[in-house]
Amino acid sequence: MARVVVLGTGTGVGKTYVSTTFVRELARAGAASVLGLKPVESGVSDDPAGTDAQLLADASFHVKPPTPLRRHSFREPVSPHLAARAAGTTIKVADLVEWVVTNEDDCPLPYVTTLISQYSRWSVIETAGGAFSPLSDTTTCADLAEALEPCLWMLVGRDALGTLHDVAATTRALKRVPDVVVLSAPEAPDASTGTNANEMLRLGLAARVIELSRGGSRPLANLATRWMTKHSRDDSPPTKS
């Protein structure tokens, strides 16, 4: 099983758009199964349609939907640690890891996996809010990403003014460099949109930066093919891109 953890420079930056698109592109690139997961989600109403967990389940390929759909689901649209506190519970990173692994293990193992390394199983895990959004008083989404190692880290930010700071601050604070930074185009582009990826490379903020246009998928399709070729070895998850 090859695992991708999707982190954000903040909330609403495009993590779900990027995650669901990448899940579909992995399937298109030849993955035997792709499981999209959202372990913690707040702001969840009675109608599951359109929630991050449901969108990821809908995009998933050749897998059962996770049970339950999320490990922690909260109605209040606030930080997970605040929502958990209001609900009288505590989010534990170890529980989230166990929930992810259990659902990954629940995926069928196609017989071709052992024969053709390109046909392998992938999971894509969207974290909540920004990389350092608190899950509890002492843990953040970055701790979850670390606990889910070995895996590939995808950091999503906006392709807009301020992103040079946001990506620099996030990558510096993370324990290791993300395997890829994905800049998702905002609804209203600004003067920096389209320039930020090159600038990040020039400043040495990241080794690989992908620009995603509004409604775009092509760069993620290319990445899916690249990672499939490089990392698709069942039970030997990737450590480096």
Mark whether 15 is an active-site residue.
no
11 binds, among Mg ion, ligand ATP, none (CB under 5 to 8 A by kind): ligand ATP
39 binds, among ligand ATP, Mg ion, none (CB under 5 to 8 A by kind): none
Work out whether 129 is an interface residue with ligand ATP (CB under 6 A).
yes
Closest CA to 3 of 97, 135, 71: 97
Closest CA to 1 of 121, 152, 107, 147: 121
Closer residue to Mg ion in complex, CB, 104/126: 126
Which DSSP category does 66 fall into? P
14 binds, among ligand ATP, Mg ion, none (CB under 5 to 8 A by kind): ligand ATP
Q: Are 11 and 170 in contact (CB under 8 A)?
A: no
Sequence-ordered list of residues with C-beta below 8 angstroms from that of 67, at least 6 positions apart, any chain: 103, 106
- Binding residue count for Mg ion, defined by CB under 5 A: 3
Please give the structure tokens belonging to residue 189.
């582009």
Closer residue to ligand ATP in complex, CB, 41/143: 41
**175-234 positions binding ligand ATP, by CB under 6 A:** 184-185, 212, 214-216
Beta carbon of residue 18, minimum distance to Mg ion (angstroms, whole number): 9
Tell me whether residue 191 is exposed, middle or buried, using C-beta atoms within 10 angstroms of its C-beta: 0 to 12, 13 to 18, 19 or more.
exposed
**Which residue among the candidates 38, 92, 175, 230 is catalytic per the annotation?**
38
Q: Which helix (H) or strand (E) holds 103?
A: helix 93-105
Beta carbon of residue 50, minimum distance to Mg ion (angstroms, whole number): 11
Piece of 14-22, 100-108, 130-138, 173-181 that binds Mg ion (CB under 5 A): 14-22
Q: What is the DSSP string of 196-240?
A: HHHHHHHTTS-S-EEEE-TT--HHHHHHHHHHHHHH--TTS--S-
Closer residue to ligand ATP in complex, CB, 30/216: 216
DSSP reduced 3-state for 5: strand
Angle between the N-to-C axes of helices 52-59 and 15-28, in degrees from 0 to 180, rounded to the nearest 10: 10
Would you give the binding string for ligand ATP spanning residues 46-85, x where CB under 6 A is met?
------x---------------------------------
**38-97 positions binding Mg ion, by CB under 5 A:** 52
Q: Which helix (H) or strand (E) holds 171?
A: helix 163-173
Beta carbon of residue 16, minimum distance to Mg ion (angstroms, whole number): 3
- Separation in Å, CA 88 to CA 92, 104, 127: 13, 28, 21
Would you give the binding string for ligand ATP spanning residues 10-39, x where CB under 6 A is met?
-xxxxxxx----------------------
Interacting residue ranges for Mg ion, rule: CB under 5 A: 15-16, 52
Q: What residues act catalytically?
A: 38
Residues that bind ligand ATP (CB under 6 A): 8, 11-17, 52, 129, 184-185, 212, 214-216
